[in-house]
Amino acid sequence: MNIFPAIDIVEGNCVRLTKGELQDKTIYKKSPIDMAKIYQDAGFKTIHVVDLDATLGNGDNKKVLQSIRKNVDINIEIAGGIRSKDAIHEKINEGFDILVIGTFAIKNIEEVLNLDESLLKKISIALDIKNNQLVSHGWQKTNNQSLESIVSKYNMKKIHSYFVTDVANDGMLSGLNMKTFEGIRNLTDKKITIGGGVKDLDDLSISKSHGFDNVVVGKAIYENKISLKSLCQFNVKN
């Protein structure tokens, strides 16, 4: 199992939201570029970067994202506002390694399924769960499609993975709620990345025991609940 340290960006700043709510954000001093370098120097192989402004329809942080890409050599999983085929091609051409796509992938399933396999293998389908419901559009809209329906369709293609977020638990440092994630694990044998609420190394051990492939860790790092050294050691051992 792999750990993906997170960098969430609002107006060029590193932030962490609570429960996906922009008005409830904490801004951190280090820049996104500095954090990316710190993660690379610590030994992580992949980082998870979210353009929250693009996610919420408040512009974007394209220049910051491009600077991150230029300043580190490790894999970057990018998320936030990728809602068209043109946007997918743009992010691939800019050198990002994994694209997390939610709203576009849920609303336009057939369009995504018809992408070239070379693109699909770089796409992680975002399944954002809030209070047991699938949400999209920056976690603001409830989606009526079932997880089973969406996953069954994408299972037919060689996508990179699924990315499941427990939105209601995100930023709470209350521990991963495995009930949110177990359903998707039973629906697919593809890779699954999970996130939302990690508070300590025990959460990571539990995630591994449940068969998940990657875990995103954000606020627990920024609030010094888990050291980068211990996270990297966990990565090496697991």
CB 136 within 8 Å of CB 129: no
128 is catalytic: yes
Q: Specify burial of residue 222 (Cβ count, 10 A radius: 0-12, 13-18, 19+).
A: buried
Q: Where are the beta strands (DSSP E) in the chain?
A: 2-10, 13-18, 21-28, 46-51, 75-79, 98-101, 123-130, 133-136, 141-142, 161-166, 192-195, 214-217
CA angle 61, 217, 185 (to 5 degrees): 110
**Active-site residue, from 128, 166, 170, 203:** 128
Name the catalytic one among 8, 166, 170, 203: 8
Residue type, 75: N
8 tagged catalytic: yes
Mind telling me the catalytic residues? Answer: 8, 128
